[in-house]
Amino acid sequence: MTPSATGTGVSGEGFQPPARVVMIGAGQLARMTYQAAVDYGVALHVLATSADDPAVTAGAALSLGAYDRVGDLVAAAGHGDVLTFDHELVPPAHLRTLEDMGHVLQPNASALAFAQDKLHARRLLGGVGRLPVPMPAFAPAGTADDIAAFAVTHGWPVVAKARGGGYDGRGVHVLAGPDDARRLLPGSPGTAEPEWVVEEHLDISAELAILVARRPSGQFVSYPPVGTRQEDGMCRELVMPADVPAEVAGEATRLAESIVAGIDATGICAIELFWVADGRLLLNELALRPHNSGHATIEACVTSQFHQHLRAVLDWPLGPTTLVRPAAATVNLVGGAQGVDYAVRLPGALGVPGAHVHLYAKASRPGRKVGHVTALGASTEEALDTARTAAAILTEP
Ligand SMILES: Nc1ncnc2c1ncn2[C@@H]1O[C@H](COP(=O)(O)OP(=O)(O)OP(=O)(O)O)[C@@H](O)[C@H]1O
Ligand SMILES: [Mg+2]
């Protein structure tokens, strides 16, 4: 059996799937999208780097290949009518090539650029949509001197971010002074275009994520705002709805919707916002794909973000985003120094009433997201308490 024939997806004998979707990447987001594809009878084909990738072990049909090799992308693209993504790492030139060949990318290459390059997003979003997008003060940075020059105006500490390729806080550095800047960027600039963005360090009251789903024909829906809590730049816990005043939630939603429409994004989009101590609501970054902040939607909302993503990229009617209980919480399962024996741990976690456990079938490694637990409740506290109890059983030494 050749790799591309492995996994039959959902197409049984004689069954004509209502649509064929290709997803580039086969991590946990593709795994959960595949679960939704099964519900709809949609044939989901993934471009995987390994037969051990989470979407592949779940049963998705696959091509084996690299997301940065155009030939592999083209081969995978042939397995579907619509191409979508579980990460933002495909080189922009390859995205253009696929579009030039006539493949339908949802979201399209121009929209994806806003999620791929933090400097591009910061530079261009000021002028997008009905309202200019409020953002932290920022500057391009190629050298430690660029960072120090920015700090003259904005003060230390500052936050330096790699323009692309970062996730879970990798690529984000808080710099206390010029020595930190020199340690990060010891050399002189080797390239014409700076590879870093430097930003003012914000006093953040709350981090929000607004999930918006948008169809190519323009219809869009938003989910209740999610509140996220990070440790070392990595998201650990999420609550839905976020604990912010109604005016802030409303403004955040309007801002997110205007960004998504302004850049012509399609599919599910996550707009990460900072609510800062001085009252400003500022754009952090955006992801144009299913997102960690939306995992609670699987149990908490009438339509999960994964079902919604498929509906949106296929230009099918979007589903209601309403919460089915007053509150939901998700706790990410992050690998520690020791591996975890899930055969021993999982039954214990499932013994916590109301805990919904999701394991991504990824080996536990320090700092790696290997699953999540969601719980619903009459209050955020109740939901968090349940999810934390089950998560502790699964991860604590
Ligand atoms: N300007 C800032 N001031 C203070 N804290 C910041 C700032 N920018 C980012 N952070 C913190 O660092 C975290 C990670 O930043 P960012 O979302 O840009 O990185 P990332 O690695 O791309 O994230 P993700 O895990 O969402 O992919 C933020 O969630 C926030 O907690
Ligand atoms: Mg982020």
Helix, strand, coil percentages, rounded to 5, for the chain: 35, 25, 40
What is the whole-number distance in angstroms between the Cα of residue 198 and the centre of ligand 1? 12
What is the whole-number distance in angstroms between the Cα of residue 207 and the centre of ligand 2? 9
- Rounded Cα distance, 167 and 91, in Å: 16
291 and 359 assigned to the same domain? yes
57-66, 129-138, 232-241, 368-377: the lowest-pLDDT one: 129-138
**Boundary (domain end) residue, out of 105, 120, 148:** 105
187 and 222 assigned to the same domain? no
Strand-strand pairing, 220-222 and 204-214? antiparallel
Q: Which helix (H) or strand (E) holds 238?
A: strand 234-240
Q: What is the CATH number of the domain that holds 51?
A: 3.40.50.20
107-111, 145-149, 164-168: the lowest-pLDDT one: 164-168
Q: What is the mean pLDDT of the chain?
A: 94
Residues 177, 148 contacting (CB under 8 angstroms): no
Q: What is the CATH number of the domain that holds 192?
A: 3.30.1490.20
- CA nearest neighbour of 254 among 227, 295, 225: 225
The pLDDT of residue 397 is 82
Pick the ligand that lies closest to the CA of residue 118.
1
pLDDT for 32 beyond 80: yes
- Rounded Cα distance, 269 and 212, in Å: 5
What is the whole-number distance in angstroms between the Cα of residue 167 and the centre of ligand 2? 7
> Which residue's structure tokens are 């275009």?
193
- Ligand 1 contacts (CB < 6 A) are 136, 159, 161, 166-172, 199, 201-202, 204, 207, 230, 233, 235, 272, 284-285
375 and 233 assigned to the same domain? yes
Q: Kindly state whether residue 73 falls inside one of the protein's structural domains.
A: yes
What is the whole-number distance in angstroms between the Cα of residue 305 and the centre of ligand 2? 18
- Rounded Cα distance, 330 and 192, in Å: 42
What is the whole-number distance in angstroms between the Cα of residue 241 and the centre of ligand 1? 20
Assign 396 a pLDDT band (cuts: 50, 70, 90): confident
321 and 348 assigned to the same domain? yes
Instruction: Give the atom of ligand 1 at the shortest distance from the alpha carbon of 201.
Output: 3
Q: Kindly state whether residue 160 falls inside one of the protein's structural domains.
A: yes
Q: Kindly state whether residue 55 falls inside one of the protein's structural domains.
A: yes
**Boundary (domain end) residue, out of 175, 200, 225:** 200
User: Total domain count for the chain?
Assistant: 3
Q: Percent of the chain, pLDDT > 70?
A: 95
Distance of CA 36 to the CA centre of its chain: 17
- CA nearest neighbour of 151 among 174, 134, 133, 171: 174
What is the whole-number distance in angstroms between the Cα of residue 81 and the centre of ligand 2? 30
What is the whole-number distance in angstroms between the Cα of residue 200 and the centre of ligand 1? 12
Instruction: Give the atom of ligand 1 at the shortest distance from the alpha carbon of 272.
Output: 17
Q: Is the pTM value of this prediction over 0.85?
A: yes
Pick the ligand that lies closest to the CA of residue 235.
1
Q: Which domain holds residue 44?
A: 3-105
Nearest CA to ligand 1 atom 19: 169
193 and 339 assigned to the same domain? no
**Boundary (domain end) residue, out of 183, 200, 217:** 200
Q: Kindly state whether residue 132 falls inside one of the protein's structural domains.
A: no
Instruction: Give the atom of ligand 1 at the shortest distance from the alpha carbon of 199.
Output: 1
What is the whole-number distance in angstroms between the Cα of residue 285 and the centre of ligand 2? 6
pLDDT for 249 beyond 90: yes
What residues contact 20, with CB distance under 8 A and at least 6 apart?
A: 42, 43, 45, 79, 80, 81, 82
- Rounded Cα distance, 210 and 225, in Å: 5
- Rounded Cα distance, 266 and 243, in Å: 28
Residues 28, 90 contacting (CB under 8 angstroms): no
Protein residues with C-beta less than 5 angstroms from the ion ligand 2: 272
Pick the ligand that lies closest to the CA of residue 167.
1
What is the whole-number distance in angstroms between the Cα of residue 37 and the centre of ligand 1? 31
282: its two tokens: 């500022």
The pLDDT of residue 3 is 46
3-state secondary structure of 72: helix
The more confidently predicted of residues 130 and 237 is: 237
Residue pLDDT, tens place only, 257-269: 999 999 999 999 9
321 and 338 assigned to the same domain? yes
- Rounded Cα distance, 274 and 385, in Å: 25
Instruction: Write the DSSP symbol of residue 19.
Output: -
Q: Which of 135, 147, 274, 368 to mutate to test the pocket of ligand 1 (most atoms within 8 A of CB)?
A: 274
285 and 386 assigned to the same domain? yes
The pLDDT of residue 313 is 98
The pLDDT of residue 327 is 98
168 and 156 assigned to the same domain? yes
3-state secondary structure of 296: coil
- Rounded Cα distance, 203 and 174, in Å: 13
Pick the ligand that lies closest to the CA of residue 231.
1
Q: Which helix (H) or strand (E) holds 173?
A: strand 172-175
Q: Kindly state whether residue 124 falls inside one of the protein's structural domains.
A: no
Instruction: Give the atom of ligand 1 at the shortest distance from the alpha carbon of 161.
Output: 18
32 and 100 assigned to the same domain? yes
3-state secondary structure of 293: helix
Instruction: Give the atom of ligand 1 at the shortest distance from the alpha carbon of 200.
Output: 1
Q: Kindly state whether residue 365 falls inside one of the protein's structural domains.
A: yes
What is the whole-number distance in angstroms between the Cα of residue 306 and the centre of ligand 1? 24
262 and 338 assigned to the same domain? yes
Q: Work out the average pLDDT over 108-130.
A: 86
pLDDT for 34 beyond 60: yes
Nearest CA to ligand 1 atom 15: 169
Q: What is the CATH number of the domain that holds 249?
A: 3.30.470.20
Q: Kindly state whether residue 121 falls inside one of the protein's structural domains.
A: no
185 and 62 assigned to the same domain? no
- CA nearest neighbour of 396 among 324, 356, 336: 336
Residue pLDDT, tens place only, 312-367: 999 999 999 999 999 999 999 999 888 888 889 999 999 999 999 999 999 989 99
Q: Work out the average pLDDT over 13-37.
A: 97
Nearest CA to ligand 1 atom 1: 201
Residue pLDDT, tens place only, 164-209: 988 888 899 999 999 999 999 998 766 678 999 999 999 999 999 9
Q: Kindly state whether residue 115 falls inside one of the protein's structural domains.
A: no
Q: Which of 88, 198, 284, 369 to mutate to test the pocket of ligand 1 (most atoms within 8 A of CB)?
A: 284
The more confidently predicted of residues 380 and 165 is: 380
Pick the ligand that lies closest to the CA of residue 169.
1
Residues 44, 60 contacting (CB under 8 angstroms): yes
Pick the ligand that lies closest to the CA of residue 166.
1
115-119, 189-193, 306-310: the lowest-pLDDT one: 189-193
162 and 290 assigned to the same domain? no
